Amino acid sequence: MKILVTGCAGFIGFHLTKRLLEEGHYIFGVDNLNDYYAPEYKIARLQQLGIDTIFEDNTLYGNKEKTFIFIKSNIESKFLYSEFLNKEKFDIICHLAAQAGVRYSIDNPQTYISSNIQGFFNILEYCRFNPPQKLVYASSSSVYGKNATIPYAETDKTENPVSLYAATKKSNELFAHCYSELYGLNVVGLRFFTVYGPWGRPDMAPFIFTKAILNNEPIKLFNYGDMLRDFTYIDDVTEGVYRVLTKEPKITENKNNDSICNSKYKTTEKYRIYNIGCSNPVKLRDFISTIENITKKKANLIDMPMQQGDVRATWANVGCLKQDYGYAPAITIEKGLKEFIKWYKNYYAKTSDY
């Protein structure tokens, strides 16, 4: 299939693109390589995908096999659609590009409006006039806000976001629903839960904690360590996204209508939302202890109050994704962190510290 992947140089986008190429699909990738974290890190991911060159805006680059075409561009750029995407016809569109990060949104709100709102609107408008078989887009577990009921289910209320990032992701879900209703688009939203693993984002806890422990640096432990996170290994996430992209949901009969998957989010509807997590949350202190055991080094912890825009716990109910697509996360936190730390040490082996 011919698939458009936005955010292809990002953490999840890179792994997904790699999997799609290995499965023989043709990929058109878009990423702006912004400086939210080091662009060199994103370029290194692209090099793993066979794109090894100097990147200029709005210029096409391809791998040797010509199975992966990359363009450096903002998704909010009209030039991208008028000059490049309108010449293509995609079977599937996977929209992962967005300005990430909860805390960054507090000081840089305009970036989120431009990328997450205007950018997603442009994708929907493109799909309106160039409808793919399916549009899959990235939402976030942050839409659940301070929901006290855990694990989070897709039918839980999400009207009270506690960060601008979460608000933009909730807006994406509403826009997607509207376009699906108005124009008959087949749309699937994926609420990701704390993804980690090799090539992970440097601004996320697994990366920050590992770097600090290996370098004997202090770790700020927010909410005094009373945090619970549904850490989900990247291979499990990639498998889940791949299934949603390339397979049709399994239609199941439920005469009693007692499944949330067969009530509000029926598999026969064109608009669906799924949680994609591990569904096995870990206490933050236990997560750090696992890194300590693997690295054979002790963490220097500094207790801190809760950060603005953060939540105490995340925990995914993944029953709907399991029912419809056979999703079954299998990587334990111990195995996942061993793989991540192994990659981390290898990637930074050229430096005197990590």
Identify the DSSP state of 351.
S
CA distance 101 to 204: 9
C-alpha distances out from residue 55 to 58, 96, 132, Å: 9, 20, 28
Angle between helices 205-214 and 284-295 (to 10 degrees): 40
DSSP characters over 14-41: HHHHHHHHHTT-EEEEEE---SSS-HHH
Does residue 183 have an active-site annotation? no
165, 274, 325, 344: the active-site residue: 165
CA distance 201 to 112: 18
CA distance 266 to 252: 10
CA distance 158 to 277: 17
CB neighbour class for 174 (10 Å; exposed up to 12, middle 13-18, buried from 19): exposed
Q: Is the dihedral of CA 247, 249, 251, 254 positive or negative?
A: positive
Identify the DSSP state of 291.
H
DSSP E strands: which ranges in 182-227? 187-192, 195-196, 218-221
| Strand 232-233, strand 92-95: pairing | unpaired
CA atoms within 13 A on the CB side of 334: 1
CA atoms within 13 A on the CB side of 311: 24
**Would you please indicate which residues are annotated as catalytic (active-site) residues?**
165
